[in-house]
Structure 1
Amino acid sequence: MALLAKIDTFIIDLPTIRPHVLAMATMHRQSMVLVRITDSDGIEGIGEGTTIGGLSYGDESPEGIKLAIDTYIAPLLEQVDLSRVGSVMATIGKYVVSNHIAKCAVESALLDIAGKRLGVPASELIAGGRRRDSMPVAWTLASGETGTDIAEAEAMLEARRHNIFKLKIGKRPVAADVAHVGAIKAALGDRASVRVDVNQGWDEVQADRGMAMLADVGCDLVEQPIARHAVAAMARLSARHAIPIMADEALHGPIDAFAIAANAGARIYAIKIAQSGGVFPAHAVGMIADAAGIGLYGGTMLEGTVGTAASAHLFATFAQLQWGTELFGPLLLTEDVVTEPLTYADFELRVPTSPGLGVAFDEDKLAHFRRDRTTSHHTLQGA
């Protein structure tokens, strides 16, 4: 039986290579919650909970994630066998409603411990284990400037780092946004897939017009064009247009996945472990999509290396990953807090092969970027 010896939860703020423009916010840095759990055998696991733009994107903030873990989840961990990850998460789910990102961070750390205990990568603990060792990775062009975005895409193609590009749109008039997308697609041609993410920025009328125009300029998919709760409108748009809708913000775990599939609201799912509530619920989302004939895309909350590694371990187990992934979060950062970065080459991300998540903290960098700048943790008496 593995008991909790110590848990340390902290926020770090890392600078980004450029402003990242979304429909609801512009990011100038990424704030993420990191959790370090040590069990009674001395095995340490790490996890990450990251959101986008504070509370402008969703209902969890970095500060709220840390509070949920420290105040409500940590005491529950004192009462359970940490080696039984599924059972632990069921206990947390019984006493903590929602707070998906906080739960994801803790579950990732427990999977890291479990993999290290058994000497296997975390992907081998999910369903039937990994089916692939690498996966395609998209890059988001989010400067908002057409010329800048084209130059950035050309540089990525030249470096063989990305040949899938997603454009953040929704702030400008529909015609202006489509002109921006069309110019980029025309410049890249058949060398790359071009997609858009509206981040719920349109209403149904705008989406109707925008989707038709985007299909005409060669765009491959439209991610979450309208509000996440408007499943009926998503179904109407999906029925009217050949260009597929990808559900993202509408997808918060298996219940949403089933409802969207039942209503034909999307033909692609952007699966995010944080938004789903962890690796195991996200796996269930993938199974529902498979059963419904819905394509899969490995989404991101712009996590750093720890969260990206956890996502990659899950996506490596999917039988189909038709639309690739978006696990570029670490590449958006100018600094990192791990000893070895993830490997990106030949348009793909390689899944770590070391036990657990396969990544480890660089303690000096971690100490530098912690908001509290001190090591404060909860150690159990007598541990």
Structure 2
Amino acid sequence: MPQIISLQPRIIDIPTVRPHKLSFGSIQQQSYCIVRIELSDGAVGWGEAATIGGASWNEESPESILHAVKAYLTPAVLNQEAGGFESILQRMDKSCRGNYFAKSAVEMALIDAVARSNDLPVWQLLGGKLHERLPLAWTLATGDVGKDLEEAYRKLEERRHRIFKIKIGARTPQEDVALVSAIARELAGKARFTVDVNQAWDGNTARRYVPELADAGVDLIEQPVAKWNIEGLASLVGMQMRTLIMADESVCTPQDALMLSKQNASHVFSLKVAKHGGLLRTRKVAAVAEAADIDWYGGTMLETSLGSAASAHVFSTLPGKHHGCELFGPQLLVDDIVENPMVVKDFDLHIPDGPGFGVTIDEKKLDRFDRSKQGLNPTHFDLGRK
């Protein structure tokens, strides 16, 4: 088995095609920590960790990820056998507590390298592909009904998306419900709808307004209350509406998943490779969901095609009922870092077949967006709630 002989992380900053508004701010640029791993047999693998709004989504940021990879994770994994994935994870855990995003970038690059070393697609290393394609959602997040509808109709005409997630929580609940209702009424019968509140509501606000979102035709409501408010999530599940409640920030570890399942606090888990700490741990959270009869949804941290392909590979191996995925990150960026983006056709994302994650990195584009080489503004994130 080849050994890990080199690990090189860097930060890149890529502007978005339009502002992406969430409950806690507006994104005009996405930042990524990209990790390159080389094995002793010459195979090279790539991984990435994306955050949303710097450190605004959780405790990690591109800068903290870069530091963790350089100072702690690299010494832990260098010269180790590349195929010992679980052993590598244990070594990373011993050297660095938490820091799941950083660990996911390293594990992603390692699995990509080992798959390429064996000329296999990653999904084959993860147990085999159950899904050739997944329905692909798009997020409507301009905050303007007219612009959101124009964008939605364009995506429908292009046959790229007919599931739309609407980001709310930055304005009053009444204004948010009015926005969702206007979009849902206009597109009734043409599309399905998910709403993401990004933890913006307290329990009483959620219990007051979630039924109105359900009446507007929303199928799935993501993280309406704070991640710690498990009782609040459980109370919404207990309302027995047709609309399903999905946990995102509340479910990061398998232990989180077990707690939510025991308290009947979620109908659906939003799975994200970065927040779970890698592909293998994503599968562990999904295993708890399957055992507890909880559905899954393939979430995104607005990754490039690299991180999106990695997520697609692990999602393609998961059993249980699912609600598609939202690996649309590459479409939100002014440019990508791969030569061959994944295929989106007839409203579905098609899973690439490899080797590795099935995408080829364009190193010239990496250099173009490399923060250390270009001196780009690392923020481009507006905390104002407008």
Q: TM-score range by the shorter chain?
A: over 0.9
Q: Determine the structure 1 residue equivalent to 2:13.
A: 13
The match for 1:192 is 191
Residue 83 of structure 1 deviates from its aligned partner by 2.2
Residues 1-383 of structure 1 correspond to what in structure 2 (within 5 A)?
1-126=1-126, 128-242=127-241, 243-373=243-373
Conserved? CA contact 1:298–1:321, under 8 Å: no
In the alignment, the residues of structure 2 paired with residue 263 and residue 343 of structure 1 have an alpha-carbon distance, to the nearest angstrom, of 39
Aligned 8 A contact 2:149 2:183 in 1: yes
Note if contact 1:108-1:278 (Cα within 8 Å) is conserved in structure 2: yes
Moved more, 177-186 or 74-83: 74-83
Give the aligned residue type for 2:13.
D
Query: What is the letter of the counterpart of residue 162 of structure 1?
Result: H
Cα deviation, 1:154-181, whole Å, max 9, x if unaligned, reads 1111110000000000111111111110
**TM-superposition CA deviations, 1:173-218 (whole Å, max 9, x none):** 1111111101111111111001100000000111011111111111
**Partner Cα separation in structure 1 for residue 67 and residue 185 of structure 2:** 47
Contact residue 41 and residue 117 of structure 2 kept, 8 A: no
* Structure 1: stretches of 5+ with no match in the other structure: 375-383
Cα distance, 1:181–1:203 mapped onto 2, change above 3 Å: same
Amino acid at match of 1:165: F
Displacement of 1:79 in angstroms is: 4.4
Q: Is contact 1:212-1:241 (8 Å) kept?
A: no
Residues 2-55 of structure 1: per-residue CA shift (max 9 Å, x gap)? 222221100101111100000012100110010001011111010001110011
Secondary structure of 1:185 counterpart: helix
82-91 or 103-112, larger mean C-alpha shift: 82-91
1:377 maps to which residue? none
1:96 Cα deviation (Å)? 1.6
CA separation in 1, counterparts of 2:275 and 2:29? 20
Moved more, 331-340 or 77-86: 77-86
Report SS of the residue matched to 2:5. strand
Verify the 8 A CA contact 2:16 2:332 in the aligned structure 1.
Answer: yes
2:380 is matched with none
The TM-score normalised by the length of structure 1 is: 0.95
How far apart, CA to CA, are the structure 1 residues paired with 2:364 and 2:170? 40
Letter in 2 for 1:210: Y
| Cα distance change on mapping 1:107 and 1:321 into 2, 3 Å | farther
Shift of 1:354: 1.7
Residues 6, 78 of structure 2: 8 Å contact kept: no
Task: Identify unmatched segments of 5+ residues in structure 2.
Answer: 375-386
Alpha-carbon separation, structure 2, partners of 1:103 and 1:34: 12
Residue 116 of structure 1 aligns with an amino acid whose one-letter code is R
Deviations 1:118-141 (A, max 9, x none): 211001111x31111211110000
Secondary structure of the 1:12 match is: strand
| Conservation of the 8 A alpha-carbon contact between 2:65 and 2:101 | yes
Report the alpha carbon displacement of residue 106 of structure 1 after superposing the two structures with TM: 0.6
How far apart in 2 are the matches of 1:232 and 1:246? 14
Number of residue pairs aligned between Structure 1 and Structure 2: 373
- The amino acid across from 2:230 in the alignment is V
Offset of residue 320 of structure 1:
3.0
| Aligned-residue offset at 1:95 | 2.3
Distance in structure 1 (CA, Å) of the matches to 2:211 and 2:363: 51
- What is aligned with 1:378? none
Letter in 2 for 1:88: I
CA contact (8 A) 2:5 2:79 kept: no
> Does the CA-based 8 Å contact 1:211-1:241 persist in structure 2?
no
Greater shift after overlay, 10-19 or 86-95?
Answer: 86-95
SS in 2 for 1:196: strand
Distance in 1 between the 2:45 and 2:321 partners? 28
Displacement after TM superposition at 1:80 (Å):
1.7
Give the TM-score taking structure 2 as reference length: 0.95
SS of corresponding position for 1:82: coil
- Aligned-residue offset at 1:334: 1.1
Letter in 2 for 1:255: Q
Q: Does the CA contact (< 8 Å) of 1:49 and 1:274 recur in 2?
A: yes
How far, CA to CA, are the matches of 1:359 and 1:345 in structure 2?
17
